[in-house]
Structure 1
């Protein structure tokens, strides 16, 4: 796919025992995919479905929303979904993590979900968040974010990231909550503003 040919400036931000120590919900990939939309075009010969208009896809704990979703199913029953956002909006993905009260939530102009590999790609204006209950714990932005559900590892690429007033540098931005010795996230106190990140303008100060 065209979005796989990114340069080597990819930042590995999380591993199974670092940022996301618990596994994602294991049964989701084997659950049936349910869809609601304003319209559907289904091709039985090619095993493809095109949903359009306020599309909502559910698959176990997974929730996907977009203006259009193209779904392809292979001979073994695995599904690949391409989710497209409406103009000036972002497509949405949410999933519960296994054995903990945590949720992974992401957005992008386009989302690709592969049930065989159990991976999710958030493409352009990509955002990936982790919630502990209803509290935001981690948040990462980039141009391309690839999240691997079985290992809870994700990579972020800033290539082509648009510079905005909130992020004039166009670089990857990450908010990662501290964790205690058991690996659980340290929930911030309920009072006070949520911490925000400031973009860096240089990669270090070249100190000797």
Structure 2
């Protein structure tokens, strides 16, 4: 998997706190997915049996247990131990997986997605977005240039930097919308009429007495 050329930025303390709460309270991703068969649909396929690689092109849709992958091109490789690896290219590529024992899903997009079945990780590169849903309700959303999500530990890291700059985010900084984890027995928070919009902060001004 290629190393990122984008300098790593420190994740805001709120993101670290919310990630820790997420890891502590939520169950792990579907563990049975890695042992499920892979099913694919595409406009074309090139399979190399000697190298155990398959390259699907054109409106690719792949399912593997609860995993759903979509992209313009997907390369799938299998090692001698049966572990499967995938490289997804798209505008953007798409990845979705259910979490074990709860009605929660993780969903992400990026111009490139690297799925590592052996280490159970997903890497989103290029205008990357990672979302967590409770049922159909969006609970958390994070954007950056590179996002790496570990299904085994339920930990994710986010890189910002120049490659993440857009007209809406000229600084290229990491952005996150994080919903607090409610206490056991507490009523769920009311859903706002419209989601809040993250805006860049061009500078912090010192407050003088």
TM-score range, shorter chain: 0.7 to 0.9
Aligned-residue Cα RMSD (Å) equals: 2.4
Deviation at 1:7, TM superposition (A): 3.7
**CA distance in 1: counterparts of 2:185 and 2:21, whole angstroms:** 8
| 4+ runs deviating over 3 angstroms | 4-8, 12-17, 182-188, 204-208
- Contact 2:120/2:150 (<8 A) preserved: yes
2:136 to 120, 134, 137: 134
Deviation at 1:178, TM superposition (A): 1.1
Q: Does residue 1:161 correspond to 2:159, yes or no?
A: no
Per the alignment, do residues 8 and 67 of structure 1 end up closer, same or farther by CA in structure 2, a change over 3 Å counting?
closer
Deviation at 1:25, TM superposition (A): 1.0
Please, which moves more after superposition, 68-77 or 193-202? 193-202
The aligned counterpart of 1:72 is 77
The aligned counterpart of 2:197 is 196
Per the alignment, do residues 168 and 56 of structure 1 end up closer, same or farther by CA in structure 2, a change over 3 Å counting?
same
Deviations, residues 133-157 of structure 1 (Å, cap 9, x unaligned): 1111100000000000011100000
Aligned residues: 203
**CA distance in 1: counterparts of 2:150 and 2:185, whole angstroms:** 19
- Contact 2:105/2:133 (<8 A) preserved: yes
Deviation at 1:112, TM superposition (A): 0.3
The 5 A counterparts of 1:1-208 are 1-4=1-4, 6-11=6-11, 13=16, 18-20=21-23, 21-85=26-90, 89-182=91-184, 186-189=188-191, 192-202=193-203
Please, which moves more after superposition, 108-117 or 193-202? 193-202
- When normalised by structure 2's length, the TM-score is 0.87
- Contact 1:10/1:155 (<8 A) preserved: no
Deviation at 1:180, TM superposition (A): 1.1
Q: Which runs of 5+ in 1 are unaligned?
A: none
Per the alignment, do residues 156 and 53 of structure 1 end up closer, same or farther by CA in structure 2, a change over 3 Å counting?
same
- Contact 2:93/2:109 (<8 A) preserved: yes
**CA distance in 2: counterparts of 1:112 and 1:185, whole angstroms:** 38
- Contact 2:144/2:164 (<8 A) preserved: no
Per the alignment, do residues 64 and 152 of structure 1 end up closer, same or farther by CA in structure 2, a change over 3 Å counting?
same
**CA distance in 1: counterparts of 2:27 and 2:205, whole angstroms:** 36
